[in-house]
Structure 1
Amino acid sequence: MDQYPDAVLFDRDGTLIKDVPYNGDPDRVEPMPGAREVLRVLRARGVRTGVVSNQSGIARGLLTRTQVDAVNSRVEALLGRFGTWQVCPHGPDDGCACRKPAPTMILQACEALQVRPERTFFIGDIEADVEAALAAGATPILVPTPATLPDEVDRAPHTAPDLRSALAMVL
């Protein structure tokens, strides 16, 4: 089973689910194409999964932690249970240690899942995801969306056009 990674971590918005800015409404959660299938395949192979997400809407007063937790619960209802959720509630100017591109949440997710970062992939849709993975020693895969800047795509060491293609790179 060494051919599989120990874990695959995902960004939430724009990667696992369609990005609805500052979404606090579980009814607005819609999985990205291929998300269910990709997670089913990973879990069937014994690969641990987790979510690592910046949620600055909490710091901005646009969301409560309860709303974020409700959205995360809806994500699990639609996509299955994740082994860990790491959420940064801070804003970009708060100077916290957890907000991506800092590696803290990825390292915490690896610790929670009892896996090594170097045997972990992190799939996200923006450069902060790539930078966080690299800083943590994990392998990043950028799956661009229309919100991803072209320069971010150019700088990413690994890119995939969609989650199914990212899965093929992981397995």
Structure 2
Amino acid sequence: MPNRAIFFDRDGTLNVDVHYLHDPADFVWVEGAVEAIRWANTHGYLVIVVTNQSGIARGYYDEAAVQRLHDWMNAELARYDAHIDAFYYCPHHTEGAVPAYTKACGCRKPGPGMILRAIQDHDIDPAASWMFGDSAHDVAAAVYAGVHGVQYTGGSLAACVQDAVRG
């Protein structure tokens, strides 16, 4: 039987949007983010982060910095009996300064590439899964991948997730 997942955008959805966030010292959870993740964990959903990280292409930080931040996020979540099952990020941007990452690609939202890859990697049923993000690009990526898309506009992320999923 395929898995169900709740996908989250990172910046502006799980954490307060600090442009080009890569240092845990600058990380602040949004209201209800930890609770939303823990709720998803305890209700049988895989929790997967899909995030555009153009700061890599722009040369502001490297992929190792993104990995360190994601490891730190999971270490923090473990203190609350919560976890993120997988992280996917797009390091590309057409206006980058690092040639290896300066390109258009299908993984950059609103493209569905990260979500589609996660669906394949984790045997996820898209019709039984949800994507929460703070932009129209996040919702569009979800729709393109066959996942229910919800735009998070503030307030408690836990309430947003529970209200949407419970219908």
Alignment TM class, shorter chain as reference: 0.7 to 0.9
* 1:84-126 deviation line (CA, Å, top 9, x unaligned): 2111000145211210001111111122221111111000000
Contact map agreement 2:37 2:83 (CA 8 A) in 1? no
Q: Which letter maps to 1:83? A: D
In the alignment, the residues of structure 1 paired with residue 126 and residue 136 of structure 2 have an alpha-carbon distance, to the nearest angstrom, of 18
Query: For residue 161 of structure 2, what is the aligned residue in structure 1?
Result: 166
Partner of 1:34: 32
In the alignment, the residues of structure 2 paired with residue 32 and residue 143 of structure 1 have an alpha-carbon distance, to the nearest angstrom, of 11
State the match for 1:100 in structure 2.
109
1:165 CA displacement: 2.3
Q: What letter is aligned with 1:117?
A: P
- Percent identical across equivalent pairs? 36
Query: Equivalent of 1:111, from 110, 120, 130?
Result: 120
The 1-side partners of 2:42 and 2:94 are apart by: 37
Structure 2 residue identity aligned to 1:18: V
Counterpart contact for 1:8–1:120, Cα < 8 Å: yes
Counterpart residue number, 2:149: 140
Asked whether 1:126 is paired with 2:126, we answer no
TM-score of the aligned structures, taking structure 2 as reference length: 0.85
Q: Could you tell me how far 1:81 is from its partner in structure 2?
A: 2.6
Q: State TM-score, norm by structure 1.
A: 0.83
Q: Give the drift of 1:39.
A: 1.3
Instruction: Compare relative contact order (CA 8 Å, sep 6+) and give the higher one, 1 or 2.
Output: 2
Give distance in 2, aligned partners of 1:23 and 1:36: 18
For residues 144 and 104 of structure 1, what CA distance do their matches in structure 2 show? 24
- Structure 1 partner of 2:17: 19
Instruction: Measure how far apart 1:71 and its partner are.
Output: 1.2
Contact 2:41 2:83 in 1 (8 A): no
Aligned partner of 2:66 in structure 1 is 68
Residue 90 of structure 1: aligned partner: 92
Q: CA RMSD in A?
A: 1.6
Structure 2 unpaired stretches of 5+: 96-102
The answer for the alignment partner of 1:155 in structure 2 is none
State the one-letter code of the partner of 1:81. H
Cα separation, 2, equivalents of 1:144 and 1:92: 27
